[in-house]
Structure formats: structure tokens, C-alpha cells
Amino acid sequence: MHRVSRRRAIVTGAAALALGAPRAGAAEPVPDFEFASIDGGVLRLSAYRGGPVLVVNTASRCGYTKQYSGLQALYDRYRARGLTVLAVPSGDFRQELGSDAEVKAFCELTFGLDLPMTTLTPVRGPQAHPFYAWLKTTAGFEPTWNFNKVLLDGEGRVADVFGSAAKPQSRQITDRITALLDAK
């Protein structure tokens, strides 16, 4: 690894540790969890295997809500190469609209979202969705606020995590995504 990449890896690793992100030994693939889709039906994580998946807990009334534009742009840029961006709206931080219909309308009208999105989903605490409970137990990661990002590799392993302030189109995130896409 050359110096710049090594330094970036150390910085990313330090940031991940600060977030309570993946511990050593958290290399097992995520089980095939299902999420209820905001469009009806089910979203299965196994359907996205083979390419990286960026799972983001979102909220419509948060200071980071404008990141929806960046998430859609990231999805548009890399989806043909195999990236999936999965938005997981959650009211855990009391900044989400009251219903799935309101969230869907807001995201479509305000941001033109067409990326996969779940129904309103708890992401922390005893009611957390099984995916997030698994992340906490296995990888030592639990969202600390809205727009925390979990990057899964093509085999479904936790590759990295990013905090709320990490912009979806930042080099920090796009470098990790392109590395995963180039490795497939």
C-alpha cells in the first residue's frame, strides 16, 4: 500500500473506531435480512450481493436531509457498475415524517429519489431492525444519528462505516466504493 492510501486507510479506520465501527473479526457476511419496501414488497440484502451496498439511516427533517441529493447522485453514478444505495428512513432521532406515504412523497417530490427505500424502520435500541441489531452485536456499530452510512462489500461483509457528516459524494466514500467495484 503506498503512503497516501495507507494514510487514508488509517484516517478512515480511526474515524470508524470513533463511530464504534467494525471491530476486527467482523468479517462474516451479513445474514440475508429483509426490509419492507416503501413501494410494497420486500427488499432482501441477498438480492444485492455481487456489488457493494451503501445502507443509510435517513430522516426527512434533519440538517443532513439534503444528503438525499448526494445519495441519489452516487446511485446514478455507480448503479450500472453494481452499487446499490439503500435508504432506511427512521424516526429513532425524532426527525422523520409520520408515515411511509409522507416519506415517499417528500423524497420523490423534493429529491427525485428512485433508489431503494425501506418503510420507517427502527435502527437502534431494543426495537432495532435485525440488520442493525446484527451490526451492533457483530460489528460493534450502532447509528449515533441520522445519515450514518454502512458500506457492505460484494459478499455482504461490512467494508466501512461513515458518520453523518461524511457527504455521499466525498472522496472518502467514493474511493471505497470504486475500490470495491474495481475488485469485483
Q: Which residues are catalytic?
A: 62
Q: What are phi and psi of 151, to 5 degrees?
A: -100, 120
Q: Pick the closest to residue 70 from 170, 176, 148 (CA basis).
A: 170
Angle between helix 3-18 and helix 171-183 axes, rounded to 10 deg = 110
State the DSSP H helix or E strand holding residue 12, giving kind and residue range, or none if neither.
helix 3-18
Q: What are phi and psi of 55, to 5 degrees?
A: -100, 125
CA distances from 61 to 64, 95, 97, 118 (A): 8, 5, 7, 17
CA distance 115 to 108: 10
**Which amino acid is residue 85, in one-letter code?**
V
CA distance 151 to 55: 6
